[in-house]
Amino acid sequence: MANPVPPRDRTDQPWRSEGAPPPPPPQPPKRKMPGGWVGLVLTALVVYLVANLILSFFNEGTEATISYTEFSKQVADGNVSKIYSKGDTIQGQLKKEQPTPSGSGHGGKNYTKFKTERPSFADDNLWSDLEKHHVTVTAEPVVKERSFLSNLLISLAPMFLLVFLWIFIARRMSQGMGGAGGMLGRKQPPKPVELEPGKKRTTFADVAGIDEVEGELNDVVDFLKNPDAYRAMGAKMPRGVLLAGPPGTGKTLLARAVAGEAGVPFFSASASEFIEMIVGVGASRVRELFAEARKVAPSIIFIDEIDTIGRARGGGSGMGGHDEREQTLNQILTEMDGFTGSEGVIVIAATNRADVLDPALTRPGRFDRIVNVSPPDRGGREAILDIHTRDIPLAPDVDLAQVARTTPGMTGAELANLTNEAALIAVKRGQRQVTQADLSEALEKVQLGAERPLVMPEEERRRTAYHESGHALLGMLQPGADPVRKITIVPRGRALGVTLSTPESDKYAFTEEYLRGRIIGALGGMAAEHVVYGVITTGAENDLEQVTSIARGMVGRWGMSEKVGRLSALPGDAQQAYGLAAAPETLDAIDGEMRRIVDECYEEACHKLRDNRHKLDALAQALLESETLEESDAYRIAGVTRLHKE
119 known ligand binder:
no
Do residues 421 and 448 lie in contact, with contact meaning Cβ atoms separated by under 8 Å? no
**Annotated active-site residue in 63, 261, 468, 593:** 468
| Surface-to-core class of residue 622, CB atoms within 10 Å of its CB (0-12 exposed, 13-18 middle, 19+ buried) | buried
26 known ligand binder:
no
Angle, helices 378-388 vs 412-428, to 10°: value is 50
Say how many CA atoms lie within 13 Å of 416 toward its Cβ: 14
**What is the helix (H) or strand (E) element at residue 267, kind and residue range?**
strand 266-270
Residue partners of 271: CB distance under 8 A and separation at least 6: 303, 304, 305, 306, 307, 308, 309, 310
Q: What order of strands is seen across the sheet that includes strand 89-99?
A: 64-65, 110-117, 89-99, 80-86, 136-137
Do residues 303 and 347 lie in contact, with contact meaning Cβ atoms separated by under 8 Å? yes
543 known ligand binder:
yes
* Rounded-to-10 torsion of CA 316, 320, 321, 326: -90
248 known ligand binder:
yes
Alpha carbon distances (Å) from 565 to 559, 562, 571, 600:
6, 5, 14, 19
Amino acid at 156: L
315 known ligand binder:
no
- In this structure, the strands spanning 136-137 and 80-86 are parallel
**CA 335, CA 347: separation in Å to the nearest integer?**
10
| Surface-to-core class of residue 519, CB atoms within 10 Å of its CB (0-12 exposed, 13-18 middle, 19+ buried) | buried
- SS3 (DSSP) at 356: helix
22 known ligand binder:
no
**CA 400, CA 404: separation in Å to the nearest integer?**
6
**CA 248, CA 412: separation in Å to the nearest integer?**
6
393 known ligand binder:
no
Active site residue 145: no
599 known ligand binder:
no
Say how many CA atoms lie within 13 Å of 20 toward its Cβ: 26
Q: What is the 3-state secondary structure (H, E, C) of 200-214?
A: CCCCHHHCCCCHHHH
579 conformational bin, left if phi > 0, alpha if psi -120 to 50, beta if neither: left
**CA 605, CA 600: separation in Å to the nearest integer?**
9
| Omega prior to 298 cis, within 30 of 0 | yes
19 known ligand binder:
no
From 16, 141, 147, 44, select the one nearest 84 (Cα to Cα): 141
Beta bridge partners of 85: 90
**Which residues are annotated binding-site positions?**
245-252, 467, 471, 543
**Which residues are annotated binding-site positions for Zn(2+)?**
467, 471, 543
Residues tagged active-site: 468
**Which residues are annotated binding-site positions for ATP?**
245-252
